[in-house]
Structure 1
Amino acid sequence: MRPLRTMGHTALATLLALPLILAAQVGSPQPAAASDNGLALRPAMGWSSWSFVRRWPTEAKIKAQADALVSSGLKDHGYVYVNLDDFYQKCDANGFVVDQYGRWAVDQATFPSGIKALADYIHAKGLKFGFYVTPGIAKNAVTQNTPVEGTPYRARDIADTTRQEKNYNCKNMYYLDYSKPGAQEFVNSWARQFADWGVDYLKIDGVGSHDIPDVRAWDKALRASGRPITYALSNNLNIADAPTWRQLANSWRTQGDVECYCGPGSNGSGFPLTSWAKITSRFGSASAWQPYAGPGGWNDLDSLQIGNGDQVGLTADQRRSHLTLWAMAASPLLIGTDLTALTATDTAMLANDRLIAVNQDGVAARRIVDATPRQVWAKRQPGGDHIVALFNTGTSGNQTVSVTWSQIGLTGPATLTDLWSGQSAGQSATGFSATLRPGETRLIRVTPGSGGSVRYEAEGARYTAGSTVDSNHGGFSGTGFVNTPNAAGAYVEWSVASPVARTATLTFRYANGTTADRPMDVSVNGSVVAAGRSFGPTGAWTGWTDVTLTVPLTAGTNTIRTTATTGNGAPNLDHLEVG
């Protein structure tokens, strides 16, 4: 492979200044409402202690990793979080040692300066500090009946001692009973302590569906803490509760740990850190969770096991595929390896600004080919380009992996760029194909050429409340069509990118199985360009046809909306093509 050439931090910053909207993707359902705490507009980037440091963190080790994040140059590429995970606490025979208000005490033997001093050290380097907690209240707090700071309540007033919360270190954590006064105040006091210490990112671990009251309580507490703290949930969360996780938090772990726990040390520590099977298991979950990712909330595939060469348990090809999937899925990029021993090959991977820009564009890709071991993923960026990733997830034998432009919603010619190398990959009128080694990937930027059209599926658009994405009438493209309520004002709205101001052709594909017209107003950027445009009967709900009109577009992102003007509502809408 040719040496990697990165575009530099200034160019990356310019790329990332693009509007952070969810571009309408082929076949992407409208995401659930995101947390409105104003944080995590892009996936977090940085380093986390668990994968390499594991159960033995110390103040000196965390400082050394922060130093290396800066000296390696990775900070300048956007990796800014230094996250201290579990095992910083002090335990006795009954679980966590607690302070005077029932909160975990930090082990002074390993963190002699305290957490605030550590956060101050990290902040002084222009970095951000992440911390860790699990739900509940410690047994020692209940035994000592410690007061809840600033209230008349005590630990025994708020603990449910009939149930023990999951905890991976000192254990002995009771549930909090949020029906009791003082429970929320206890969590508030802990969040205030973290804010006072300078925490910028908080991971709450051991979370399950039964912990939704805790997740909600911590969300309230962090908002009231007086400090912006990015809020992450872990691990292996239930996808059935995805709308709740997205409403309350900024990221959520979609599976268990990516670490293999197959090293020679205690509890499986040491190298290797992971395995290819652990990475490939993420393809399925990334696809299932894709609809829930977007600015404010991200599907977390767990730490990046890149940095220390082949000894992490992955070949160079597999490590590039690992980073490619995380980038396409818009997962947080939290390195888990030893930053004090980075290899040149892996530093080049992690510092590839083209890959970082794919991760930071605010769009989670959709899987469009799943023919194990051949995988193809695609997304459309806010600027109008398509990003396509091809994978051979097998462990033996080359595979030829292909994609057609119609599969990604593009017609006409396109210019291709290999994003790993930065080199031109030529032009193609119909698609792209590559023969890949076992574990290899190819990541390409597809820039539509003149004379082509771009398809925006209706199910990837925004639509009026009460609409559904259905698939009970055949002949549609993508994964379904949008069926809006039968009411005046029902709408479907697309975000359409245009590189320049121009006149464009809009083609709406629809079906109207009734005998009555279902007219709609068509507006561009809030101005009606076609009032009461006819969407007449098509003979059957499987009888798809087109309505075409010419409209002006501005340079940048344009909003195109169709709005029903009668009580019959809108027809079923399949897609919009922009030429």
Structure 2
Amino acid sequence: MKHRLAPITLALTLLLATAHAQQQPLAPTGRWAHQGVGSAPTPPMGWSSWNAFHMDLTEQRVLDSAQVIVDTGLATAGYRSINIDDGWWRQRRASDGRMQVRTNLFPSAGTGGAAGTSLRPFTDKIHAMGLKAGLYSDIGRNACSQAYNTDSPNLPEGSQAEREVGLMDNVERDIALYFGDWNFDFIKVDGCGLSSYGKDRPPVTSGRFREFGPTVIEGNANQSDMDGARALYGRVTQALRSVRPRGDYVLSVCLWGAANVRSWGAEVGTMWRTSRDIAPSFSQMLHNFDTVATREFYAGPGRWNDPDMLEIGNGDFDGSHLLEARTHIGLWAIVAAPLMIGTDLSKAPPALIDVLKAPEVVAINQDPAGNQGVLAYADSDRQILVKTLADGRKAVLLFNRTGSPARFTLTAEHLKMDATAPIALRDAWARADAGTFTDKREFELKPLEALLFTATGKHQLPRGYYVSERPANVYVARDGIRALEQDPIGYRALASWATTDNGGTRPAYAGWGGPRADSTPYDQALSVQRQAFRHGIGALADSRLQVQVAPGSQRFVARVGVDDSTRGKTAAVSFEVWGDGRRLAATAPMKFNQAARDLSADLRGVKLIELIARQHGADTTGPVVVTWGAARIE
């Protein structure tokens, strides 16, 4: 009886704790809120079959790709997860619901016996090569291929029930099979089953599939059931934790930035897609990159923004476009994105293999601090992103987004370094020192080029660091967003499967208004009653940010107030600093157009602080934007 009651008691405790947190979202907990899903202290790296072979994958093609990974040194560079995408399944066995494999594609799966088929022989081969094995599924009843690849000969077959190969209604059974019996290490869980099987969609009107939802509507978060989608993925998370209690797995949430997953993905996944599918075009790559570039506070060790796999080797990034290929992986490196190769490696020339495994570029991506690069400068044509590395150096990327040469000025201020002291640059591509400068240095970049350096110099603060320099140390416990808005920032590329027979490509991702480093949530400069702040945190009122404190820190310091760019101008906001569950400092309520106030707190012995901007009363004029100006830990 005790063994039966224990899980129920635990579940009830978790339910009550969750309900309490929802009722009191600003209440400090004194505990780091992110509960890791799986194990990925650095961005996952590997290879995926989809962009290489789509539905035409075979066991031999996957094994050959894995062998190239080993033989070329890509595995040594970190690309170790070999992931099967859509197309492997034959049906769900009617007698017991066990998934069956297409043995014409994966002949080693034809084990016979009670199991019928098994992918364990395949994963054993992958593991014997020193690699990890990944699998694909869908959170709904049916998969993406059944809705969009209807001419493929490798679709699930059989009765309607046998063709329901997705996880829905079978989560615990399937996860136990995939991560227990079959011994996979990684799973990508797509979301087409939540979006593509509504009553008016062709798969359902054809009579071949059951209606479901839609729960998720791409580009329309307000009409999506966000809580429902989050709960379904959360069920997968719980099943994985049950089967793999040591956390030795990776869960990739593939919901293409829909249903505001960019804000809650860390609760249910190790990595989560921030955008629609990538394509082998520079414009689509820009689109996907832009869905990540302003989400620095939502990523860190064990929780990664995913702009989709690399297209290096395909289209605009093939062997005749080495500059574009370097730009592509350089962008993914600076924002700490997962590095998943998506090409047929048997056709990749050595020069592209060298791009993929460039050691100092990969090292920037895999830096153990886990910080995502922060925009230090941006206009429509140029961007400068800076990423703080674990050893205190900075990685800096200069990106020319245009088809013409462009001049850049890199400054010590961009790097948060002392302008009077020498700054040494090292070229990550050339693997060579690139000279020193003080104050500023000029560069001219080729069209579509991205230069990537590491920089060593003296910090501009005599002690400590700005909170915005270490976004991985911040967790957004509450973002303060009251009404969802689509994020207007981003390159509006035409999707590879779309045409211009409609009104155009419009912003499609919710989350506009989330906290930002060195910027307001709405991409304005930080300013309180005309006092500008180059560095700090921009957020909305009624937000709570958790910040891990470096050992030996003495105090937190900031100048706070309602930002000049705020839309809400009537409600007052008080600012609070809590440390390990105790209130350390607070201001009286402040209103728009009041001067910034100093706020400091003693951090001796404190491990976690929580920065709370508490709104007093309603504001019918709009969201209240607040600034933690020059927020730093000394």
Q: TM-score, normalized by length of structure 1?
A: 0.69
- Alpha-carbon separation, structure 1, partners of 2:302 and 2:170: 26
- Alpha-carbon separation, structure 2, partners of 1:212 and 1:512: 34
Alignment of 1:136 onto 2:143: no
Match of residue 173 from structure 2: 189
Match of residue 275 from structure 1: 281
Distance verdict in 2 for CA 1:465–1:256, change over 3 Å? closer
- Alpha-carbon separation, structure 2, partners of 1:432 and 1:226: 51
2:559 to 510, 517, 537: 510
Deviations 1:438-487, CA, capped at 9 Å, x for gaps: 1211111121237765751469575997897676834242364579999x
Match of residue 6 from structure 2: none
1:226: how far off?
3.6
- Alpha-carbon separation, structure 1, partners of 2:140 and 2:561: 54
Match of residue 413 from structure 2: 406
Alignment of 1:56 onto 2:56: yes
Match of residue 364 from structure 1: 372
Q: Which stretch of the first structure deviates more once superposed, 442-451 or 115-124?
A: 442-451
Match of residue 377 from structure 1: 385
What amino acid maps onto 2:177 in structure 1? Q
Please give the secondary structure, in 2, of the residue aligned with 1:113. Answer: helix
Match of residue 23 from structure 1: none
1:434: how far off?
1.6
Distance verdict in 2 for CA 1:466–1:338, change over 3 Å? closer
What amino acid maps onto 1:126 in structure 2? G
- Alpha-carbon separation, structure 2, partners of 1:491 and 1:71: 45
Match of residue 122 from structure 2: 118
Matched-pair contact (CA < 8 Å) for 1:434–1:442: no
- Alpha-carbon separation, structure 2, partners of 1:35 and 1:440: 38
Matched-pair contact (CA < 8 Å) for 2:311–2:317: no
Alignment of 1:348 onto 2:368: no
Q: Which stretch of the first structure deviates more once superposed, 435-444 or 540-549?
A: 540-549
Aligned ranges 1:25-40 → 2 under 5 Å: 33-40=33-40
Distance verdict in 2 for CA 1:431–1:235, change over 3 Å? farther
- Alpha-carbon separation, structure 1, partners of 2:104 and 2:147: 25
- Alpha-carbon separation, structure 2, partners of 1:281 and 1:366: 17
Deviations 1:119-148, CA, capped at 9 Å, x for gaps: 100000110000011123369xxxxxxxxx
Match of residue 81 from structure 1: 81
Deviations 1:312-333, CA, capped at 9 Å, x for gaps: 3871111000001111111111
- Alpha-carbon separation, structure 2, partners of 1:240 and 1:464: 14
Alignment of 1:390 onto 2:398: yes
Match of residue 243 from structure 1: 263
Deviations 1:1-56, CA, capped at 9 Å, x for gaps: xxxxxxxxxxxxxxxxxxxxxxxxxxxxxxx9544234122111111111111111
Among the aligned pairs, what percent are the same residue? Answer: 24
Q: Which stretch of the first structure deviates more once superposed, 543-552 or 287-296?
A: 543-552
What amino acid maps onto 1:295 in structure 2? P
Matched-pair contact (CA < 8 Å) for 1:165–1:174: no
Match of residue 22 from structure 1: none
Aligned ranges 1:95-244 → 2 under 5 Å: 96=91, 98=93, 100-114=95-109, 115-137=119-141, 170=155, 186-195=170-179, 196-206=181-191, 209=216, 210=225, 211-226=229-244, 228-238=248-258, 240-244=260-264
Over the residues paired in the alignment, what is the CA RMSD in angstroms? 4.4
Alignment of 1:575 onto 2:630: yes
Distance verdict in 2 for CA 1:400–1:560, change over 3 Å? farther
The number of equivalent residue pairs is 472
Distance verdict in 2 for CA 1:190–1:390, change over 3 Å? same
Distance verdict in 2 for CA 1:341–1:382, change over 3 Å? same
- Alpha-carbon separation, structure 1, partners of 2:281 and 2:545: 47
- Alpha-carbon separation, structure 1, partners of 2:335 and 2:238: 28
Distance verdict in 2 for CA 1:467–1:198, change over 3 Å? closer
Aligned ranges 1:412-561 → 2 under 5 Å: 412=419, 413=421, 414-449=423-458, 453=462, 456-457=466-467, 462=474, 473-474=528-529, 475-477=531-533, 478=535, 480=537, 495=549, 508-511=557-560, 543-544=595-596
1:243: how far off?
3.3
- Alpha-carbon separation, structure 2, partners of 1:563 and 1:301: 29
Distance verdict in 2 for CA 1:223–1:549, change over 3 Å? closer
Match of residue 222 from structure 2: none
Matched-pair contact (CA < 8 Å) for 1:102–1:137: no
Matched-pair contact (CA < 8 Å) for 1:521–1:562: yes
What amino acid maps onto 1:406 in structure 2? E
Matched-pair contact (CA < 8 Å) for 1:328–1:377: yes
Deviations 1:134-182, CA, capped at 9 Å, x for gaps: 123369xxxxxxxxxxxxxxxxxxxxxxxx996756489999xxxxxxx
- Alpha-carbon separation, structure 2, partners of 1:120 and 1:288: 40
Please give the secondary structure, in 2, of the residue aligned with 1:411. Answer: coil
1:550: how far off?
13
Alignment of 1:318 onto 2:324: yes
The answer for unaligned runs of 5 or more in structure 2 is: 1-31, 110-118, 162-166, 195-215, 217-224, 481-514, 521-525, 563-573, 613-625
Distance verdict in 2 for CA 1:120–1:329, change over 3 Å? same
1:106: how far off?
1.0
Matched-pair contact (CA < 8 Å) for 1:324–1:355: yes
1:302 to 291, 308, 327: 308
What amino acid maps onto 1:382 in structure 2? A
Please give the secondary structure, in 2, of the residue aligned with 1:137. Answer: coil
Please give the secondary structure, in 1, of the residue aligned with 2:424. Answer: strand
The answer for unaligned runs of 5 or more in structure 1 is: 1-31, 91-95, 140-163, 176-182, 260-273, 565-570
1:61: how far off?
0.8
Please give the secondary structure, in 2, of the residue aligned with 1:445. Answer: strand
- Alpha-carbon separation, structure 2, partners of 1:202 and 1:429: 48
Distance verdict in 2 for CA 1:508–1:383, change over 3 Å? same
Aligned ranges 1:321-340 → 2 under 5 Å: 321-340=327-346
Matched-pair contact (CA < 8 Å) for 1:467–1:485: yes
- Alpha-carbon separation, structure 2, partners of 1:388 and 1:408: 8
- Alpha-carbon separation, structure 2, partners of 1:206 and 1:521: 39
Distance verdict in 2 for CA 1:99–1:295, change over 3 Å? farther
1:69: how far off?
0.8
Matched-pair contact (CA < 8 Å) for 2:43–2:337: yes
Matched-pair contact (CA < 8 Å) for 2:253–2:269: yes
Q: TM-score, normalized by length of structure 2?
A: 0.63
- Alpha-carbon separation, structure 2, partners of 1:137 and 1:379: 41
1:572: how far off?
7.5
Matched-pair contact (CA < 8 Å) for 2:424–2:455: yes
- Alpha-carbon separation, structure 2, partners of 1:229 and 1:215: 15
Please give the secondary structure, in 1, of the residue aligned with 2:106. Answer: coil
1:283: how far off?
3.1
Matched-pair contact (CA < 8 Å) for 1:63–1:122: yes
- Alpha-carbon separation, structure 2, partners of 1:341 and 1:283: 26
Distance verdict in 2 for CA 1:110–1:222, change over 3 Å? same
